[in-house]
Structure formats: structure tokens, C-alpha cells
Structure 1
Amino acid sequence: MTLTRTKPLLIVTGLTAALALTGCAGSAKQKESDGAAGAGGMIAQLTFPSEADASVGSLANYNPYAPKPLTTTWLYEQLIVRNALTCEETPWLAEKATWEGGEKLTFDIRQGVKWTDGQPFTAKDVAFTFNLMKQYPALDKPGVWTSTFGAPATSVTAEGNKVVFAFSGNAAPKYDGIIASKILPEHIYSKVGDPTKYVDKTPVSTGPFKVGSFNGRQLVLERRPDYWQADKIKVKKLVLEGQYDASQAALKLRSGQLDAYFGEIPNPEKTFVSADPKNNHFYYAPNGMSVLTGNNEKPPFNDAKFREAISYAMNKQEMSLKATYGVMKPASQTGLKLPSMDKLLPAQYAGKDTVMPYDLAKAGELLDAAGYKKGPDGKRTNPDGSPLAVNFSVQAGWIDYQAVADVAVKGLNDLGITSKVTASAPDSVDGQKKTGDYQLMIEYLHGGCELAKNLGTKLSSTQIPTKTEVLPNVQRFKDPAVDAAVTKLAGDTDRESQKTDLAPLVDTMMTQYPVTSLIYAPARVIYRTDKAVGWPSEQDPYANPQDDKLLMLTHLTAPK
């Protein structure tokens, strides 16, 4: 486990509710013709690792809703691609999306798209896909027909080239799940019974490739000249082959047998880039953040003053160096991915450094003031005089988490807080999250654009883990005012008011320290530029390199 966890853009009037949840994208932004995508020559072949794990074996199944399809990326497509880094949107099978309040969502479906068997793709295919989710609930990953994150749908209908979702109440938080759902061909999947059990051996899809061959080990995909945006697809052949660990991937990349890898390679600058700085590169985008999570229901972590004090004892630069070889930057205490989400910052934090500095002296002063005094032996006690000791639970084998935990515990011990790391099986740590039987651990704060579902659920008392389920509020933070703010943020459909709605959550992070932001967690791409250029980068973060591979493909061209 690792720390994971041009033409001007056209604003689409009325797309407010779900986009407004972020305050970052606001509306679907069209990139119908992108300069980077249209320039350059054709690429004969690119080779990526297989998307299927070794257990798939020789079974050819392209059903995007199967537990283990051969590929989930290159064949079946979604309605709109939303870049989780910048929150910008690129219309895909839908040209536009429009909310009316939070109860009605309409998609304008792209015309002229064809399935690989030559049949036209229509709005009926879209409506069919989502109605199939009602018939087979296991298919309903976005929760369209349930009360998960918003009111359930009452109907999904095709009306000409439009698809209309009607909900029984506000359903704005479902938006990201809806637009990311893969659309199925009605003329095929209406005949297969339960789609979750269907083995799709001859895929009929709308994507840029068709299956060339699969020999049980190597999947070869061939470019479709009749693809609806074929002018943006410069890769003639895409080969998916092999499941590689870090050392194998590094060797394959250096030798040119792989053109990109999306997993972790420790110290990529040394192990990969240095071998050929001209052609070897990497981009580790901030995908979320690792956070220091104390049990807010138990002393001393039920004391916000204690939580604030120890936040200054976290040496984030050292954590980055030991866990990510210095690649990932210290994270903002706001809970937002900065600088990409700068526009969301409340006025009092705009333009300020919101990363908690490493300052042991200040941490000590704050602990003294809060009553956590040092005794003659240099060890601190609780305000009632009892011994102060902290046990840090960490998942055994998660090397990066263990590295961060070691640095955190050193900071606490340097403050005079007796602390130790206890490594346990990941399942055991999950059990501690469910029961609350822990003091301190590392957790993940999702950095996606639907902040009511991400930062909001991290702080909402409705999202405290149960005995059977790990929910986001692992620290068990409770504040009725914060709950009300999360509800308002989730239900607001006005883009301009989202910054105001978000402000109480940011302020809570900055003043009550329900969790302490440590370092950003990466979405990775490690790549070569001898065959293809146009990869996303820190200078041009047009795509999340792990989630937006299809969008990334439209930017790749042969080097000049």
C-alpha cells in the first residue's frame, strides 16, 4: 500500500449543483479541440502494464462492470471527464450537463458517435445503462437509485438527444459517479441478463480502440479510424502486458519495453530519470493527502489544544523525504489540494501559507499552556498529572506509512510525549477504525472535487465508522455546526456561494485540528518521451494520470 491512495473553454449555463460542490469547476468546460491534442504525428505503438491482475489468466472479459475486466479504460466510455486535480471538465459522450436545482439533471448526448459494430450511439443507450442499475442494484456504483449521498432517482428517461434524471430531492453529490459511469450498448446488453455476470468476449463499445488480439498474456488494442474524435488519437496500437512490481517496472521503462507505468517506483529521480534525463520523466500529482488522525473521543486527542500543539511537531519535510524521496510536498492544513484549489480558500486564508510549520519550540509552549507539563524526567503528563503516552497504530508492510509514523513518533518523543509505533496487520488496523480502539494513526483525506463528499465526510458526525464499516470520519470528530455546514455545502446549487459554504469546514481544519494534514498522496505516471510527448505534468496538470488516462491519450503525439 502506498500513499494513494488551445481554444478557450466554454462555460455551460446551468451546470451548477454538483459542480458547485467543488466551487472549482462550476460548469462543464469544453475542450472540443485542444492544441496539444491536435499537433504532432502518429505513434506506431505504446506499451502500458496490463490493467488486469494475474488472477484473470486467459479469460477474455471486457465487461466494464465485471469484477475483473481486461481493461476498464480504453473501450467503454463515460459522459464527461472531470479532472480531479483542477476540477475542469471535458465533455465526452455528453456535450453538456445542466442542473435545475438539485433535483433534475439533463445531459445533451453527443450525436454522430458509433458503436464498434457500426450501430449509432444514442441517448437511449445512456438511459438504458442507468435504468439497468435500477434493475440490478449491484451495478449501481454511483448510487443513482439509492439515498447514498443525495436523494434517489425517480426516473431516467431519453428525450430525443437528451437524457433526463429526475430525483426525489437534492442529488447533487451523485454527479461525479454519474458522469464517470461507463455507457453500455442497449442492443447488446439488453439480451444478456444480469450484466454483472455477463462475460463480454466481443466488446461493442464507443472508445478509441477495438480489440486486436489477446493471447492470455498480452492484450493488443488497435486504433479505430471511425472513432468520434479520431483526429485526437495518435496512437495506432496500444499494448497492455504484464503485472510489474517497482523493480521490474523500472527495468522495463529504462529498456524501453514500457512507455508508461502508473504504480510506485521508489526514488524515481535516481532509479529512472537519471538514466536518461532527456527521455525519462515522472509526474506525481497530488491526489489527496495523508493525515495524522487521533481518536477525538479519548484523551488527549479530545483536546483541540493538544491536537494543535502536536501539529507543530510533525516534520513534514522529513516525512516526504523518507516516504516519497522528497517527491510529494507537505499538505495544506485546510484539507484542500493547493495550489490547484487556491480559488476555494476563504478570504482570511487566501495568499497565506497554510502548511503547518515544523516548530518544536512552539509545540512545547502550546503544550505547557494547555497543562501538559514536563516532569523532572523530561516526560510530559496529562493536565490531571497522570502519565501521557501515545501508541501509534500503523499497517505492517505499508512502508511509506511506517516511515511517516516513525517521523511523527520522533516528533512526539522530542516534545516529551512518550510514544511508540505498533505495526499490525492492515485488517487489524481497519478493525481499530471500526471500534475506535486506538489512539493515533495515519488516515487518508480524499482530494476530489466533490468536497461535500470528501472533506465534508471527513468531518461529518454522520460518517463515523460503525462496528461493521469503515467510514471517513475515523477520528470521530463531532460538531453540530460543522454537520450543518456539510449539509449546506452538499445541497447548495449555486456555484458562487460554494466558497462561502466551504469556509466553515476550512476554518474547522485550521482552528480545531480534527486531523493534521501531513503530505500529499500521489497519482503517478512515470513515462518516456522518445515515442510520445504531451503527458500531464506539474506545468500542465490537464489530467489525473491515474484516473483520466483516456483524456491523457487525446494529448499524446509523436515527438517532432
Structure 2
Amino acid sequence: MKRIGKTTLAAGSAVLMMGALAGCGSSSNASTTSAASSTAQPLIMAPAPYGSYTDNFNPFSTSNNPGTDGFIYEPLFYFSTVSSNQYGLLGQSYQWSNGGKTLTVDLRTNVKWTNGTPFTSKDVVFTFNLLKQNPALDTSGVWTKLQSVTAPNAHTVVFQFNQTDVPFGVYVLETYIVPESIWSKISDPAKYMNSQPVGTGPYLLSSFNAEDYKFTANPHYYLGKPKVPVIEVPAYDSNNSLNEALAAGQVGWSGQFIPDIKGVYTSKSPNNHYWFAPYEVVGLFPNLKNPLLSQLAVRQAINLAINRPELGQKGEYGYEKAASPTALVLPFQKSYLNPSLPVSETYNPTKAEQILEKAGFKKNASGVFVSPSGQPLSLTIQVPAGWSDWDADCAIMAQELSAIGIQTTVTQDAYGEYVANLQGGKYDLAMSWTNPGPTPYYALYNSLGSTGDWNIEGWNNAATNNALNAYASSTNPAVQKQAIETLEGIMVNDLPFIPVLDGALWDEYSTANYTGWPTQSDPYVTNAPYSWPAPEIVVEHLTPKS
């Protein structure tokens, strides 16, 4: 199981690619698409074993049903996290001005809500004002950066920022938009379940119960009616039950960790496939308030004691590779790599012990290193209970660290307790994620920035903040690349956190009824069926198999 983070926005004007989607374009395609759709099979989609569903299609709710965001409600743009593709949805172009303080978006002119009402800039302004009036809905904190949102005409929206922050534009452009005509009448939008959703997306909700719900293709969708006529989302309550349904061909698209995917899934049919795209760096985050872990020598020793290829094979069944010491992960981001820095970590337990000895640590009678001040090097690694791959990874790392004299045990906590402990600094080491995007800035900012939303380790460093600010305040690619290279050097030399593996997005899909899925050779967007709104882009590419 993995957590999905936020994406980022490349600086400058957008080069939009939605028109390149298979089966997409103007509404003139609708008649051809309709003929194909009439004989196409439903797509059975089970993103994960969520258990029974509640009737919640509120796009601002963190517990809404899969498909609310993407199939029904849409943002202005979507930026792929596994390629450099950008997709114009409700927006068709954007441009920065005023030194990166003003973002102007040109909207599509042929969009309607599924109740027939035209979509205009008033809906966008209303949505953002709704977030301002209801801070609980503003989960991305857009109003911490925005000064105003205005509409000079029916198809233009102007976002004025308090100060230059070009990368933050993604949180604005990927905000889901709701119709003013409906949501202006809702007294408490945070608690509104929205059981009859009206959106702009490619699908309409056609039926719902706690065990299964269905979407049908929107015949008036502005990019043309999708070729997948019906998407059904059945409920599963366990990995085993969902794995059995996948193997039996009862589910055509899912996304979960399967230990032996060849034996369990792909061997059952030539139509069964998977693509576990590298998505984020997973690492060991040290609590830098811990007087032992605040010492660079200790972090260096931990780094050298981890056998990453072994973790990738034993803990992750070969699905994930060793992370780069620079914390850059996505293949299409390799242009940012500093060529003077190492591309892989070295497993060297002997050197790890030498570093500790040089720093004044000595082993006691039990073989555990003790600091010059008399503190035994005894640590715990926190990990969410039930995340079987991470649990295995941490068990292996604990053995490796204990073998060199760092006494290490693993603590498995319920997910909520785990997050609370990390955010509250109540841990030693923690296996955790980063929040990636189409450029390396976001993973680095979120994990290293003094105001980053996942800087759980407590790193606060002037050189780091200066580099992050240099990136955020510029639209010059050369300036941004230099800033990233500075941050890579900090990662390698100072180890604010310890990269371990390139975390993957889990996805399994069948080509029995549809072709056009993203693959490693055609990574137009992530295929993970829980990484919304990417599934909307995927479905727009799918074509019924003849």
C-alpha cells in the first residue's frame, strides 16, 4: 500500500495534450464513438479493497468514492507524474505574468455541466471563494498563497498570488471545480454527501449501493463520448478476495500490492498485465531532534548499512529498485541529475562501523555502539501495520543495522497512529514516502523545506531554503535546474533523510476487452486506478478490443 502525494507544475505556458487522446477531440466524434460503445463491454474497476461504500460523491471530501474526482468532477488541468505530459481539461491554456505573481487561465468554451447548464468562469471563481469561506475544504491551502480570483469574462480566470510561487500553481490548477448553481445552495459543503452529483466529466453516476456502483458515459462530454460505455466499481473487503476476482477475470482494472503477481495474476491469462511505475522515493526519515540521529556520522552509518538491492528483491519481490542518493526517481526527470554526484548508494557495513568509531562511538559488551556521552545507539523504526512490503523492508533493515552495532527494532502502528507520531515527532526512524511531481522540486520541497508539508524529520537549513526559494521564484529552466542540483548535493552530503527505494504505483489491468493502457514503453500517464484524476485520462485512451 502506498500514499499518493500531490503533483507539480512546470513553469511557463502550457503545451496541452488532451487532444492527442485516443478517441478524443471535438463533439463531432460522438456518433462514431457511440457506435463503438454500443457493443463495448463494461469495465469492472476495483481500485483497492475498500470494503462497503458510503453514498459520498463530494469532491472536497477525503473519503469520497473512487471516480468522484476525475470521472465526475474535473480540475482545470492535470499534470502527469510519470511523464512530462500536460492535459488541459476545463482549461485550454495558461500563462504566467507579473513576475510570476499572476496566473491567467483560458477556459474551454464548449463545456456543460451534466444537467445542461453551461460551464463558465463564474463556476471557477465560485469554487475558489467556497474554499476561502470554508477553510476545511481548502486541503491544499490555496488561500495561503492566493490574493484574489477574478473573471474578466466568461472564459477567462485570473489568479493573483501574494508573492511569486510558480510551482504552487499546480494546487490551483488541479483544484476540482463545482457548479455555482448547485453548491451555492448548500449550507454545509464539508458535510454534504452529494448523492446526485452534477459534474463536467466523462461519466455520470447511474446507480449506487454499498456493494457496487456504476458510471455511464457522458454523451455530451466536451472531448467526445468515451468508448467505455459503463464503468462498474464493486466492493471488496480483502486483498485475497480481490486477488481471486482479478485472477478469474472478474475485475479488469485494479491497483494493489500482490506479492507473487506472476503466479497469482499474469500466469492466469495472456490478457493479464501489470505496470508498477516508479513514482516516489521511499526512505528512512530520522527524527533530527534525537541527539543521536542529529549527528551526521550516525546517519551516514545507517545509510551504508542498508542493502537496497536485497530490500528490492526480498521485501518488494523485485518490483522496486534502489533509490538514487539524490532522491530523484522518475525516469523522465533524469535531466535534472547532477553528473558530479553518485547515481547509486554503496552497501558497506564495514565502512559504516568505521565512521561510527571515528566519531567516538565504541561497542559495549553486547556489541552495541555507545556514544562518547554514554548513550547506546538503540533505535526503533516505525511503519504502518499491515503494509506488508514495508513491514518486510523494515524487518530486513533492522537486522542489517543491528548487525553493525545499531540496536534496532520495528514498531508497527495503525495508520492513524503512525501518521500522528511522525507529525508529532514521536519516533526515531520511520519508513515513509515523499510527495513527487513532474519535476523534482515538490518531493524535495515537501520533505526538506522548512514549510514543507512532509518535513517530518525537522530539517531546517539555510542553503536548502535558499535553493527552494530560487526555484519557486523563477520561470527560468536554467535557474531551476541549478537549484535542484544544489538540493541533490545536500541530500548526498548531509542526508536529511535516507533514500531507500523507488516506490511504485501498483496497477493490474486486462486487455481482454480494451487496449490503450499506459505501459512502461508508453507512459503517457500513471495507470494506478487510485491516483485521481489520472484514471480519467486512461479511460479516454481506451478502445474496445475488436
TM-score by length of 1: 0.86
Match of 1:313 among 305, 327, 339: 305
Corresponding residue for residue 388 of structure 1: 377
Q: Distance in 1 between matches of 2:367 and 2:48?
A: 53
Match of 1:205 among 199, 210, 217: 199
Corresponding residue for residue 88 of structure 2: 91
Match of 2:60 among 61, 65, 69: 65
Return the letter of the residue paired with 2:382.
S
Match of 1:552 among 514, 520, 538: 538
Change (3 A) 1:222 1:295: closer
Deviation at 1:66, TM superposition (A): 4.2
Change (3 A) 1:396 1:143: closer
Return the letter of the residue paired with 1:486.
L
Whether the aligned pair in 2 keeps the contact of 1:28 and 1:88 (CA below 8 Å) is no
Deviation at 1:406, TM superposition (A): 1.4
- Mean Cα displacement is larger for which, 193-202 or 237-246? 193-202
Deviation at 1:110, TM superposition (A): 0.6
Q: Distance in 2 between matches of 1:265 and 1:51?
A: 11
Indicate yes or no: 2:319 matched with 1:333. Answer: no
Indicate yes or no: 2:444 matched with 1:458. Answer: no
Deviation at 1:271, TM superposition (A): 1.1
Whether the aligned pair in 1 keeps the contact of 2:273 and 2:509 (CA below 8 Å) is yes
Deviation at 1:239, TM superposition (A): 1.2
Indicate yes or no: 2:14 matched with 1:19. Answer: no
Indicate yes or no: 2:472 matched with 1:490. Answer: yes
Structure 2: unaligned runs, 5 residues or longer: 25-31
Change (3 A) 1:127 1:519: same
Deviation at 1:438, TM superposition (A): 3.2
- Mean Cα displacement is larger for which, 367-376 or 199-208? 367-376
Q: Where in structure 2 are the equivalents of 1:294-443 lying within 5 Å?
A: 294-349=286-341, 354-374=343-363, 379-383=368-372, 387-443=376-432
Change (3 A) 1:243 1:174: farther
Q: Distance in 1 between matches of 2:218 and 2:408?
A: 59
Corresponding residue for residue 230 of structure 1: 224
Deviation at 1:528, TM superposition (A): 0.8
Q: Distance in 2 between matches of 1:120 and 1:431?
A: 43
Return the letter of the residue paired with 1:214.
F
Deviation at 1:529, TM superposition (A): 0.8
Corresponding residue for residue 134 of structure 2: 136
Corresponding residue for residue 260 of structure 2: 267
Q: Spell out, residue by residue over 1:169-215, the C-alpha distance to the aligned partner (whole angstroms, 9 max, x if none).
A: 22434322222222212222233333334343433221112233334
Moved over 6 A (4+): none
Corresponding residue for residue 473 of structure 1: 455
Change (3 A) 1:366 1:27: farther
Return the letter of the residue paired with 1:287.
Y
Change (3 A) 1:153 1:323: farther
The number of residue pairs the alignment matches comes to 525
- Mean Cα displacement is larger for which, 383-392 or 496-505? 383-392
Change (3 A) 1:388 1:78: closer
Percent of matched pairs sharing the same residue: 30
Change (3 A) 1:188 1:297: closer
Deviation at 1:162, TM superposition (A): 0.9
Structure 1: unaligned runs, 5 residues or longer: 6-17, 464-470
Return the letter of the residue paired with 1:81.
Y
Indicate yes or no: 2:102 matched with 1:104. Answer: yes
Change (3 A) 1:442 1:169: same
TM-score by length of 2: 0.88
Deviation at 1:553, TM superposition (A): 0.8
Q: Spell out, residue by residue over 1:7-62, the C-alpha distance to the aligned partner (whole angstroms, 9 max, x if none).
A: xxxxxxxxxxx7346xxxx54232243265569964321111278955644x4x43
SS of the residue 2:297 aligns to: helix
Indicate yes or no: 2:177 matched with 1:179. Answer: no
Change (3 A) 1:99 1:52: farther
Match of 2:119 among 118, 121, 129: 121
Change (3 A) 1:297 1:53: closer
Q: Distance in 1 between matches of 2:419 and 2:169?
A: 29
Deviation at 1:516, TM superposition (A): 1.0
Q: Distance in 2 between matches of 1:191 and 1:293?
A: 45
